[in-house]
Structure 1
Amino acid sequence: MTALAARRRHPLATVVLLLLALLVTGAAYATVAPREATASTTAGADDVEAGQELFLANCATCHGTQAEGTRNGPSLIGVGAAAVHFQVGTGRMPLQKTDVQAPRRGPGEFSEDEIRQLAAYVASLGPGPAIPDDEYVQPLDDPDRIAEGYELFRVNCAMCHNVVGAGGALTRGKYAPGLMDVEPVHIYEAMQTGPQAMPVFNDANITPDEKQSIISYLKNVEERSPAGGWSLGSIGPVSEGLFVWVGLLGLLIGAAVWLGAKSS
């Protein structure tokens, strides 16, 4: 007992206990922490080499020969494959002209294989978000998941993109683009990487399953036909009120012209 008590009072006992507590805490967090939804396929050396050649020919002018960034473009080290797949896959990059915001132009001149090779090269330069696995970008028909997606979208996205994803104006000439006819994988990657004025919603903020619910909601909205006739841009009471006001004003002018012609 005396020897055990002496060991308990040893100056290093507190340090050992703290280290054990940190080890147990770290192991518990690693067990329950949400995992990122990454693509199951691993890029090979051939893809990285081909991606480097594409990068030097098409991207190095702005981003530097080592993707270190220049005065004309930011560094790409650590942005991850998802950022490249989104920017190039939506045609925002290569940038056509310097402006406040890069518009979506479609896939552009690169094939899907070439886009993935570019993404593999940039991913090899530093850790970053990977292209999501297919299982998380497939829209679901489950009403509960669609309802969950609506709530998540309304709380996190609707203030910029409109509640039905129609898009909207931001400050200084920027805008939140419309989300109709956008590939599900690009919606996921936009949440992962936060392009341009958009904040980042990583897998710790919005889990992969919740991102899939948001995608399911947006695709459900896209498939629905507007109830009651014209959608009027789906931007809510402003456009609807303007439509009613212009129509009513036209009727009043017509009535005034008719009464004036009748009295004369």
Structure 2
Amino acid sequence: MKKLSARRRHPLAALVVLLFALAVTGGLYAAFAPADKAQADNTAQSLAIEEGKKIYAVGCASCHGTGGQGSSDGPPLVGVGSAAVDFQVGTGRMPAQQPGAQVPRKKKVYTQAEIDQLAAYIASLGAGPITPTEEQYNPAGGNIAKGGDLFRTNCAQCHNFTGKGGALTGGKFAPNLDDVDPKHIYEAMQTGPQNMPSFPDTTMPEKDKKDIIAYLDTVASKKSESPGGLELGGFGPVAEGLFGWVFGLGAMVAVAIWVAARTAKAKKS
């Protein structure tokens, strides 16, 4: 007992007890604690990347290179991010059927689960724009009026005032935005596919993108009637004004000539 009491009074006794308690606590935690969520997420991500790599080898490597470095048939994919993959593959533009001035939208080849795996693999090659969450692209709560102003300032030059699309140079075109998934519109603004410029958050904040989507959800998806009556395709004031000038004024001139002819004929009689 005297020896035990002496050891208790030793200057390092408290430190030894503390280290022993920490060791016991750590051992019990390691033995009985649930699996670490972060570790589980990392495992799932690794599996997704591995599956995406297999999909890439079959459907993409022939044009974009075995490691995404690109080739004469396809641009490099290092650094394009998961958002670009989700847009291009989710809209059916990729895999491309044949080369051309512009790859059109078509029925998608892969399921959304496969697209997510492919996006995970491409994202692992280099940092880039991330696939947005539903909260980011959901049009609910967006400022439609502000979105209209932003769209007319930044997008109408190519897509026309209500997103009807239009022709560009060299066989290229700005696609019609009717019934395009809001997520794909957001991703297009993020990544700038094909001929479109990109609008990162440093150029166009997340809230502005949401407002533009809300505007398109209203006008391009036929959720509201044209306040001016017949919209004539929604191509904007120049095209619609020209139509009114040529056909409207032309009809008025024709009516005036007909009335004058009838009046002259009546006088002769």
TM-score range, shorter chain: 0.7 to 0.9
Letter in 1 for 2:209: K
Q: Quick check: 1:146–1:216 contact (8 Å CA) kept in 2?
A: yes
Aligned-partner SS, 2:114: helix
Go from structure 1 to structure 2 and tell me whether the alpha carbon gap of 1:154 and 1:256 turns closer, same or farther (over 3 Å shift). closer
Runs of 4+ with deviation above 2 angstroms: 225-232, 236-260
Deviation string 1:162-193 (CA, Å, 9 cap, x unpaired) is 12111122222211112121111111111110
Query: Corresponding residue for 1:121?
Result: 121
Separation (CA, whole Å) in 2 of partners of 1:176 and 1:119: 25
Aligned-partner SS, 1:44: helix
Separation (CA, whole Å) in 1 of partners of 2:77 and 2:204: 24
Go from structure 1 to structure 2 and tell me whether the alpha carbon gap of 1:148 and 1:70 turns closer, same or farther (over 3 Å shift). same
1:160 correspondence with 2:158? yes
Percent identical:
50
Go from structure 1 to structure 2 and tell me whether the alpha carbon gap of 1:241 and 1:146 turns closer, same or farther (over 3 Å shift). closer
Q: Any unmatched runs of 5+ in structure 2?
A: 1-40
Go from structure 1 to structure 2 and tell me whether the alpha carbon gap of 1:155 and 1:122 turns closer, same or farther (over 3 Å shift). same
Separation (CA, whole Å) in 2 of partners of 1:97 and 1:229: 42
Per the TM alignment, residue 57 of structure 1 is displaced from its structure 2 partner at its CA by: 0.7
Query: Corresponding residue for 1:58?
Result: 59
Separation (CA, whole Å) in 2 of partners of 1:198 and 1:58: 25
Letter in 2 for 1:220: T
Separation (CA, whole Å) in 1 of partners of 2:177 and 2:151: 12
Separation (CA, whole Å) in 2 of partners of 1:217 and 1:183: 13
Identify which of structures 1 and 2 has the higher relative contact order when contacts are C-alpha pairs closer than 8 Å and 6+ apart.
1
Query: Corresponding residue for 1:236?
Result: 236
Query: Corresponding residue for 1:80?
Result: 81
Per the TM alignment, residue 121 of structure 1 is displaced from its structure 2 partner at its CA by: 0.6
Query: Corresponding residue for 1:183?
Result: 181
Deviation string 1:244-263 (CA, Å, 9 cap, x unpaired) is 43466578779989979xx8
Go from structure 1 to structure 2 and tell me whether the alpha carbon gap of 1:246 and 1:87 turns closer, same or farther (over 3 Å shift). same
Deviation string 1:98-136 (CA, Å, 9 cap, x unpaired) is 111111114x22111111111111001111111011111
Give the TM-score of the pair, scaled to structure 1.
0.74
1:134 correspondence with 2:98? no
Deviation string 1:42-67 (CA, Å, 9 cap, x unpaired) is 86111111111111111111001111
1:111 correspondence with 2:111? yes
Query: Corresponding residue for 2:217?
Result: 219
Separation (CA, whole Å) in 1 of partners of 2:184 and 2:69: 25
Query: Corresponding residue for 1:36?
Result: none
Per the TM alignment, residue 242 of structure 1 is displaced from its structure 2 partner at its CA by: 5.2
Query: Corresponding residue for 2:21?
Result: none
Q: Give the one of 185, 195, 198 matched to 1:197.
A: 195
Go from structure 1 to structure 2 and tell me whether the alpha carbon gap of 1:176 and 1:257 turns closer, same or farther (over 3 Å shift). same
Q: Quick check: 1:147–1:217 contact (8 Å CA) kept in 2?
A: yes
Larger radius of gyration: 2
- 1:1-80 residue pairs with structure 2 within 5 A? 44-80=45-81
Aligned-partner SS, 1:65: coil
Q: Quick check: 1:140–1:213 contact (8 Å CA) kept in 2?
A: no
Q: Any unmatched runs of 5+ in structure 1?
A: 1-40
Go from structure 1 to structure 2 and tell me whether the alpha carbon gap of 1:226 and 1:147 turns closer, same or farther (over 3 Å shift). closer
